[in-house]
Structure 1
Amino acid sequence: MNKINKVVDKLINLYGNNEPFPNCCYLYGQKSVGKSMCIENFLENASNYIESVIIYANECYSNKILFENIINKFNNHELNEANQFESFAKIDTMEDFLNQISMLDVSKSYIIVIEKAEKLRDMDINIIATFSKLQEFTGLNISCILVSHIAYEKMSGDEIIEIHVPDYSKNDITDILLNRYEEVHEEIIKNIKKSNMKNEEIDKQLEAVTTMNEEFYKNYLSVFLNVFYKACRDLKELSFLCDKCYPSYYNPVLTGEIKSTDVTNLWRNVTKTLKMALNTIYMRVGNLSAIELKSTEENDENTFEIHQRTNTIKTFAQMLELPFYAKYLLIASFLASHNDAKSDKKLFMKNHGKERKRKQPPKVSEKMNVQFGPKSFTIDRLLAIFYAILDEKVGLTCNLLSQISTLVDLNFLTFVSGESNLMEGTARLQSTLGLDFVINIGKIVGFNVKQYLTDFH
């Protein structure tokens, strides 16, 4: 892909053959945007003149494990029964590690790639500074590439070369998911053949599958991404949801209810499923299939499924272990995402100067803002709503801001822009939660969410 190639070209320009390497490089971007793919492509292109190791910091719970993993890989040392699972060298301190690195062949060039580099913050305070100055300590042409989803300002104040991996565009995601067309349709054919239907029905459905060509799948992806692209940019999550919702799109074609070329009716048929899936994005509640998701909205005969799903969401909300203020931040983010900013004064300020209008009946479901996906909001607006709905007075502390970062890491919030400007207040975020889930969070802390949604006024 063009985006990946551009990042790889930047890395090749930085780490040229027979050239001195930079001390350290920081590769960052949102989760699932291809950072690891960039690294793999780069190292493959440079394998003839660079010796490299890739370490995952989240697998190293101590400095010792991290250091020994690096030395083991550089020396092609594998832990097994023959060596009694002993490392190549015993390393207890940073000095031991630097001594071992210094023993590498001085005529070669080396790169240490540390994935999940944000985990280094949980280790010794000097570890990031050491990895960013390995050349000075060892005299080798060696560099470290730190890979993370957070901005470097959250890691260290030292100057470093930063390379940003941008989010996938809608066209990028379409192309990636479209590459799975053959795999997806082979699975459909396999499931049809394994079914308990009569042979005539199986033959009929297999014939219908032949009309579900690549253009058919591309039309589905267009409908799917129109709903989910604003709320989620995580490729893994989109891929999961895409597979879950696809049966609701193609089942009417298999049964002969809708022709594969009737894009309008196919879109109308799958809309309810997509909206329901949007309400449980990131949670994978009960791992419901697309058919189950669709059935919960159809008619009174499905009250058991509705009750089951409601109980599942309620249980998940009750089991979610978050600080008290974090739960209010979740509620505030949902309100900010699904209310217009101009309605904040009316909803959250006492004695706002206007006569309170008589309560109107709730809006029809299809016209509700909560069904149209989340809108972005600023940190300032989030905190303003948070303080308005919280009964007690709380000062703005680093702990409060760190809880916002935690909610982002848990995928309950997602950045739209300005990830590196969280402390400045200029970042824009979106809530990824569904109405049912937030209502249950509200019940836990004793807060009526519907009372503060314009859809219910």
Structure 2
Amino acid sequence: MDQEEAPKPPRRMTRFSASTSTSDIVHATKGNNLETRTMNDLLVGGDSISLDDIIASFPGRSSQILEIARLLGPLNSPVLPLFMYGGASTGKTSIILQLFRHLNRPIVYSSCRTCYNQRILFESVLNQLLLHRKNVANAYTNAKRCERPSDFVNFLREALTSVISNLKEKSDKLVSGNKIHGGMGNIIYLVFDNFHLVRDWDKSSTILPLLFNLYDMLKMPEVSLIFISGTSPDTFYSNMGYVEPIPIYFPDYTEGDIRQILLRNQANQKLFSSFLDVALRPFCRITRQVGELSTALKPLFEKYCEPLSDKGKGVVPTEDMKRRLFNHIKPHIASSLNDVFKVSSPPASKVKVGKETKHKGSPKRSERFEEIGDLDFHMSTSAKYLLISSFLASRNPATLDASLFDSKGGSDNRKRKRKASEKVLEKKEILEEELLMKGPGTFPLERLIAIFQCIVSVAEEPYDEEEPNNNELGAECSNGSLISDVLLQLSSLCNANFIFKGKSCPIEGSTRYRSTISENLALKVARSLKFPLSKYLYRN
């Protein structure tokens, strides 16, 4: 490890999967052509890049990039822990890696998604610091077996001491050789990506205080910690007495930023720009994740280019051509919008049959539906369920959630109908009047998601008999990815004033929401889904 490295480019070109690609001063291998790892393996690979190029590569992120560069400071500047947070696909990981590529400083990158428990995380960090890579020669073993936090701190201090010593030795050689450029500095940066996932680990109550307290426990100014999370620092604080990391917020991309990102690397930017003029805004109302938008818009753009010869290569669209292409793609936009969230609408034939059956069985209900009418705007299926969930959370007392959303998917009014006494009826009327005077109530995010999961899972039940294998809604709700998408939809509904977002409750510490839609609109949305809203509404 003390041999002088030649100025060759590092073998690793990215650090996105660095948690699984680390290696050591591996003992000279028996007949294997494996190279001994060097300190250069702690650098982010690739050609050098300027700060201006990084800013140009990430539209709408110049303030965050400059702030991080300022906090990292000049070479060998001690840095307090940093906490970068924001929604998915907001550029957090890519920006920090590109900045370290620009600065040419050593980092140890570990993702808490691939390192899904504390042992794997500990061993991943130690493998990189000890320059150890698992291979055939070492029987794919780790540099250290580490399961206990106390062992991790001891091993980490030893490994960091060795690495810092080598970095200082390398810097001294450059200074003695009168080499101004090419130095990596003496500071090592530990980067923990997807840090919010640690909260779901079995021993999160132990690992979270440990990682947050590392800076104080190590007491090594040459070590800096960077946490990258999908949630804000408020979701972690619990009076643990550690040095609070400096927060850096990454907001969702604006529509203009997304447009710039999607236009890059397009063969015909003028044609794609005309396509984004008609397709981007509806999708941005649902999600701001660049990856999802890119995936959803790709087949739609191919459909947009169908009337053009040679897939629109070299075509400069005129106003008349734009109108014709828009008319061609218009019928396909609605179906593509529903595909973004993977929450499927009931087949049209089943909806029609269900409509006829229900209307025949209850003529009064049929008349009521006809009076309500259809929605005069488009909304994805899962957004409709979320809107209904917020309406129920605002109108129903929280104490009735358990009885309304039971394991059978709601209350069974037929079983619960009893002859009520006059006192009970009077008390019910008084309570209804009080609820009416108070107006829609507020509710926390946890309650909204719980109601959303219940009504979406119930929505599949009428069709289970005909299609036993069709259980997409219930399955999706158990998936964490859908919950993150629901949060994005919630933001869109708040921006559209369907849901009001209030301030944090001083007692609970969580943000409160309130539905602003009328009962008439809620019934319209429920009717479009064939959802029995009155069955779950306390005041009916």
TM-score bracket relative to the smaller structure: 0.5 to 0.7
1:407 deviates by 8.0
1:46 equivalent among 99, 103, 106: 103
Whether the 8 Å contact between 1:387 and 1:393 is mirrored in structure 2 is: no
C-alpha separation between the residues in 1 aligned to 2:326 and 2:445? Answer: 46
What is the correspondence of 1:417-436 to structure 2 with a 5 Å cutoff?
421=504, 423-426=510-513
SS of the aligned residue for 2:107 comes to strand
Aligned position for 2:238: 157
Aligned position for 1:263: 322
Aligned position for 1:116: 194
Query: 1:8 and 1:157, CA in 2 relative to 1: closer, same or farther beyond 3 A?
Result: farther
What is the correspondence of 1:254-293 to structure 2 with a 5 Å cutoff?
254=309, 260-261=317-318, 262-283=321-342
C-alpha separation between the residues in 1 aligned to 2:131 and 2:65? Answer: 26
Aligned position for 1:139: 219
TM-score scaled to structure 1, two decimals? 0.63
Whether the 8 Å contact between 2:87 and 2:231 is mirrored in structure 1 is: yes
What is the correspondence of 1:52-451 to structure 2 with a 5 Å cutoff?
52-103=107-158, 104-105=160-161, 106=164, 107=168, 108-121=186-199, 122=201, 123-140=203-220, 141-157=222-238, 159-182=244-267, 213-254=268-309, 260-261=317-318, 262-283=321-342, 360=370, 367-370=376-379, 381=391, 383-385=393-395, 392=403, 400=447, 403=450, 409-414=483-488, 415-416=490-491, 421=504, 423-426=510-513, 447-448=531-532
Query: 1:276 and 1:98, CA in 2 relative to 1: closer, same or farther beyond 3 A?
Result: same
Residue 91 (structure 2) pairs with residue 34 (structure 1)? yes
1:394 deviates by 7.5
C-alpha separation between the residues in 2 aligned to 1:420 and 1:54? Answer: 36
Q: List per-residue Cα deviations over 1:308-364 (Å, max 9, x = no partner).
A: x979x9xxxxxxxxxxxxxxxxxxxxxxxxxxxxxxxxxxxxxxxxxx996536757
Q: List per-residue Cα deviations over 1:392-412 (Å, max 9, x = no partner).
A: 358989963664796863524
Whether the 8 Å contact between 2:84 and 2:229 is mirrored in structure 1 is: yes
Query: 1:442 and 1:223, CA in 2 relative to 1: closer, same or farther beyond 3 A?
Result: closer
How many residues are paired up?
345
Q: CA RMSD in A?
A: 4.5
AA paired with 2:188? Y
Q: List per-residue Cα deviations over 1:54-103 (Å, max 9, x = no partner).
A: 11112223211110100101122101111111211221211211112212
Q: List per-residue Cα deviations over 1:83-139 (Å, max 9, x = no partner).
A: 111211221211211112212234521211111111211234132222223232223
Query: 1:419 and 1:153, CA in 2 relative to 1: closer, same or farther beyond 3 A?
Result: farther
1:259 deviates by 9.8
Task: Extract unaligned runs of 5+ from structure 2.
Answer: 1-57, 169-185, 352-365, 407-442, 454-479, 495-500
C-alpha separation between the residues in 2 aligned to 1:359 and 1:274? Answer: 27
Whether the 8 Å contact between 1:111 and 1:142 is mirrored in structure 2 is: yes
Residue 58 (structure 2) pairs with residue 11 (structure 1)? no
Structure with greater Cα Rg = 2
1:15 deviates by 1.8
Q: List per-residue Cα deviations over 1:16-64 (Å, max 9, x = no partner).
A: 2222210x221111111111111112211232xx321111112223211
AA paired with 1:409? I
C-alpha separation between the residues in 1 aligned to 2:289 and 2:78? Answer: 36
Q: List per-residue Cα deviations over 1:281-301 (Å, max 9, x = no partner).
A: 221879xxxxxxxxxxxxxxx
Aligned position for 1:332: none
Query: 1:172 and 1:285, CA in 2 relative to 1: closer, same or farther beyond 3 A?
Result: same
Bigger Cα displacement from structure 2, 159-168 vs 396-405: 396-405
Aligned position for 2:6: none
Percent of aligned pairs with the same residue? 20
Bigger Cα displacement from structure 2, 58-67 vs 228-237: 58-67
SS of the aligned residue for 2:228 comes to strand
Aligned position for 1:294: none
